[in-house]
Structure 1
Amino acid sequence: MTPPTLPPLRDVVARHGLSAQKSLGQNFLFDEQLLDRIAAVPGKLAGADVLEVGPGPGGLTRALLRAGARVTAIEMDRRCLPALAELGEAFPGQLRVIEGDAMKIAPETLFEGEWHIAANLPYNVGTGLFTGWLSGQAWPPRWRSLTLMFQLEVAERIVAKTGSDAYGRLAILSQWRATPRIAMKVHRSAFTPPPKVMSAIVHVEPAEMPDGVSARTLERVTEAAFGQRRKMLRQSLKGLPGALDALETLGIDPQRRAETLDVADFVAIARIMGGKTTGGN
C-alpha cells in the first residue's frame, strides 16, 4: 500500500502556528529522509506496536507510520494535537494520540502484547524516561527495543566502556542486561531551533539477565560507588552493608576506584550481597 502524500512538515508547523518550546525540551526535525532512517533503525515495523513520546508536530510519527507501524503517541503539548489529528486521518487506524505526561503513564497499560519505543525524546525528561524503562526486576521487559534521540554526551555515557570518563551508573544500568549502541549521530543543524549540542540515536535491545542478581541491589551498589567516584571503593562503599565483604570475596582491591570495575564486577558484587531474585517475569 502506497503511503499518502503529506504536506511538508514546515508547512504544517507554520499553518498551526507551532514553535518549539524550550520549557518542554522541544527541537523539531524536518528532514524526512533523516526521519525515515531513524524509523528504520529498529528493523521491520510493519504491523508492530510502537510507543512514541513527545511527537510534537509528528515528524518521526510520519516516518513510523510510513514504515507500517501502529503508533501510540504521548504528547503533553496541546498545541500539537490538531497536527497529529490530521496525521491520524491520513493513516486511518494506525495512530492513537494520548494527551498527557509520559513520566506518569506506564506503557504496560497501553498495550496487550509487546511493543517498540521510538522517540526524539524531550531533552528535559529523556534520561528519566530511559532509566525508568530499563529499571525494575521483571526481565525481559515487554518492550522489544528502544530507539531514542539523546544529546551526544548522554548517548556516550550509555555505551561507555570501563575506565573512560563517560563510564558510570548509566552505562552499567544500560549494559548489565541489555545491549546498547549508537546507531547514528545527528548534527545540531538538523533541528529547528538548533540545540547547542550534537545529538545521537541510541538503539537498545534486551539481553539475558544474569541469574541471582537483584536490580535494586545493583542500583544501590552503583549509586554508592559512583556517588563518590573519585574516592577509593573502601570509602565509597563503606556505608553499604556487605559491599566491602563482597570485594574481599571477589578479590577486588578496595583501593580501586569505581570506574576501573567493569559491568561484570558490579553484577558479581550485587550477587554476593544477597540478590535472591533471578531473571524472568
Structure 2
Amino acid sequence: MIDSLPPLRDVIARHDLRARKALGQNFLLDLNLTARIARAAGDLTQSDVLEVGPGPGGLTRGLLAEGARHVLAIEKDPRCLPALAEIAAAHPGRLTVLQGDALKIDPLAHLNPPIKVVANLPYNVGTELLVRWLTPRDWPPFWESLTLMFQREVAERIVAKPGGKAYGRLALLAQWRCEARIVLTLPPSAFTPPPKVASAVVHLTALPAPRFPADAKVLERVVAAAFNQRRKMLRASLRGLDPQIEARLERLGIPPTARAEEIGLEAFCALARDLT
C-alpha cells in the first residue's frame, strides 16, 4: 500500500468504473507500478505535476505518495471524478481535478513552475498531446520533463535512431529539443482491460535549446516531405520544396539518392537552415 486509500480494484468496483474503449482507457491497477512510473519522473517534491487521463487515480496516488508538490489531473470521464475526489480529500490542498478534454484545456492557470508532466496517456490522444508539448511557440517549454506511457511501438518511434523503420518524424521532433529514453516496459497483463500490445514509459527532458539551429516550421516541412514518401530518394521526395533540391543536397553533403530514414537530425537541420 502506498497510502491509506482502498485498493484500486475496490475503488473501480464501488464506482462502477469499467474502462471504455471509446475513451482509450486501460487502467493500471498495480500501485507498485504506478509508484515506479512516478519515480521515473525524478524528484517531484519541488514540482507541480500535470497528469492527463488519471482514470481511477492509480498514478495520481503514486505521484502524491512520491511527494509531488501539487498535482493537476485532467480527466474527461465524469465517472472517475468521485474516485479522484476521495484522493484529493486524503491529500488536502495537493490535488486539483479538472473535468474536460485535455486538448482544449489550458493547464497553466493551475500550475506553478517548475512543472513536470507525468501521465498514462489515453491511447487515442497520446501522440497528439506529445506533439503539442514538443512544438510550443517558444522554447524552453512550460515543462521541464515529460514522463509518458504509450503503446510500445509509439515509444520506440520516439527514441528511434536513423536506419530503422521506427525512425521518422516523431523521433526527429522529440530528439531535436529533448533527451528521450525508454525507462520502463509493461506487458498487457499489467492493465485492466489488457490492451493487445505492450506499453512503455518514455522520459523526455527538455534541452535549454535545440541540438542544432533551425527554424521549427521549416524543419517540420522538410521532415514531413521526406517521410511522407519515405520509400523515395530524397531528390524525389523533397522536390516540392525546391526544384533544385538535388544540387542543394549535394552542396550540403547529403546524398540525393538516400532515403529519409538514413538521414540524421543534424543533416535535416542543415537542410532546413539552407532552405530558410
TM-score scaled to structure 2, two decimals? Answer: 0.95
Give 1:41's aligned amino acid.
A
User: Contact 2:51–2:118 at 8 Å: present in 1 too?
Assistant: yes
Q: 77-86 vs 203-212, which deviates more? A: 203-212
- Partner of residue 267, structure 2: 265
Superposition CA RMSD, Å: 1.4
Shift of 1:107: 3.3
Alignment of 1:68-83 (within 5 A): 68-69=67-68, 70-83=70-83
The residue aligned with 1:95 is 95
Once residues 181 and 243 of structure 1 are traced to their aligned partners in structure 2, the CA distance between those partners, rounded to angstroms, is: 37
- Partners in 2 of 1:271 and 1:50 — Cα distance? 35
The 10-residue stretch of structure 1 (103-112 or 220-229) with the greater mean CA deviation from structure 2: 103-112
Task: List per-residue Cα deviations over 1:127-184 (Å, max 9, x = no partner).
Answer: 0000110013411112010000000000000000100110000100010111100001
Residues 179-233 of structure 1 deviation map (CA, whole Å, 9 limit, x = unaligned):
1000010011000000000000000001231464111111100100000000011
Cα distance between partner residues in 2 of 1:117 and 1:4: 22
Name the TM-score, length of structure 1 as normaliser.
Answer: 0.93
Q: Quote the offset at 1:109 in angstroms.
A: 3.7
Cα contact 2:179–2:204 (8 A) shared by 1: yes
| Counterpart in the other structure of 1:278 | none
Distance 1:104 1:261, change over 3 A: same
Q: Tell me the number of residue pairs that the alignment of Structure 1 and Structure 2 aligns.
A: 272
Structure 2 distance, partners of 1:194, 1:131, is 26
CA contact (8 A) 1:20 1:27 kept: yes
What are structure 2's unaligned runs of at least 5 residues?
none
The aligned counterpart of 2:106 is: 106
Indicate yes or no: 2:33 matched with 1:34: yes
What is the alpha-carbon distance in structure 2 between the residues aligned to residue 117 and residue 128 of structure 1? 15
Percent identical: 58
Could you tell me which amino acid in structure 2 is paired with residue 27 of structure 1? N
Distance 1:132 1:195, change over 3 A: same
SS in 2 for 1:143: coil
Q: Which amino acid aligns with 2:92?
A: P
Q: 2:237: which partner in 1? A: 236
Instruction: Give the 3-state SS of the residue equivalent to 1:161 in structure 2.
Output: coil
Structure 1 pair 249–105 and aligned structure 2 pair: CA distance change class (3 A): farther
Structure 1: state its 5+ residue gaps: 275-281
Matched, 1:20 2:22: no
Which aligned runs of 4 or more in structure 1 are off by greater than 2 angstroms? 106-114
